Amino acid sequence: MKITIKEIAEMAGVSVTTVSQILNNKGSRFSEQTRQKVLAIVDEYQYKPDFFAANLINRHSKTIGMIVPDVTDFFFSKVIEGVESYLNPLGYMIILCNSRHDIEQEKRYLNELSHRSVDGILLATPNHLEGEHKLGSEFYRKRPIVLIDRGLNDRDWGQLLVEEYAGAQDVLRMLVEKGHRHIGMLKESQGYYQLTERVKAYRQVVFEYQLPFEESYICSGQLTISGGYHAAKEVLKNKEITAIFCGNDEMAIGCYQAIYEAGLKIPEDISVVGFDGLEVSQYMVPPLTTVFQPSTEIGFSAAKFLVDAINFPSQRIPNKIFQTKLIIRESVKNVNEG
């Protein structure tokens, strides 16, 4: 049986305001006896507050909208995990939307969420925001929005940036130090990542060490296992390649399969490195050398920024930079040792 605050008040012989204050731990003008009486009724009937009714009073729905380009992507699943780890203890619920990298779908979700009384929106986007949704528009003045967009949309607040360039440089310089000169790369040309920083780092290391280079050393594919598999098959046509830098760990899994099918061994014939530091990378055979980026922490920080913006709307949302870490495992051979 569902019970209302009014019914609880009648059963306890107190006002609706008193019940509301007891449930919200506010006010102290009532006795401990009254408090216990109300809470006993709440417990007996397992009363749960109606957030939409509460929303009319305090203008907070305790609901956050979150839009991501791909819910099946390992990186975003960890970001979502981080968001939930911050929001759940505070009593917030998430409405999760999957835009599938489609800008029109993203716009529809933004408009739909704004009509559903969410307290704020977390937007992970591969797009330059334009029109009614561009930064500084009326849309942003009505509710807090925190972007997870790799700094794509220019602003001096609320940027959550990973030092991808430095991380990619670290792993590529390590390959050079181990004697690799013909290094291939698997990248994605579209979507959320675009890997601009990782590709820049690759080209910089090639230039810095005057490594041999052909455009066919870089192949594009989706940032998925199958994308990595097909891109690696193209890169492997360059028989002189001794190492492959994969745009992310998922691509590296596909790369492993392409190398296996080519009758080659890792790392004896070809070395492979990844990027992301996914948990699965340590269970690959051989375990994958990769660059860890703190995806869970990115989600946690984005959620914290948003809740702070909800509670303190006049405060500026800060920026945060996340460090990467090179994790060396067994997928790289030192060719200097013969």
Mean pLDDT for 246-267 is 97
Convert the pLDDT of each residue in 15-72 to its tens digit.
888 887 887 766 667 788 888 888 888 888 888 766 555 554 456 779 999 999 989 8
pLDDT at 149: 87
The DSSP annotation for 65-129 comes to EEEES-TTSHHHHHHHHHHHHHHGGGT-EEEEEE-TT-HHHHHHHHHHHHTTT-SEEEEE-SS--
List every span in the chain annotated with CATH 3.40.50.2300.
62-163+295-323, 164-292
Tell the CATH superfamily of the 164-292 domain: Response regulator (3.40.50.2300)
Render pLDDT for 287-317 as a digit per residue (tens, 0 to 9): 999 999 999 999 999 999 999 999 998 899 9
pTM: 0.80
Indicate the CATH number for domain 62-163+295-323: 3.40.50.2300
Cα 109 to Cα 101: distance, rounded to the nearest angstrom: 12
Distance between CA atoms of residues 31 and 71, nearest Å: 49
Contact 325, 168 (CB under 8 A): no
In the chain, list all ranges with CATH 1.10.260.40: 5-57
Residue among 126, 107, 124, 118 at smallest CA distance from 144? 118
d(CA 255, CA 289): 13
The token pair at 263 is 């009758």
- Taking the C-alpha atoms of residue 123 and residue 106, their distance in angstroms, rounded to an integer, is 9
CATH of 5-57, one of 1.20.1600.10, 3.40.50.620, 1.10.260.40, 3.50.50.60: 1.10.260.40
Strands 290-292 and 325-327: antiparallel
pLDDT greater than 70 at residue 9? yes
Q: What is the pLDDT of residue 6?
A: 86
What is the average pLDDT value for the chain, to the nearest integer? Answer: 90
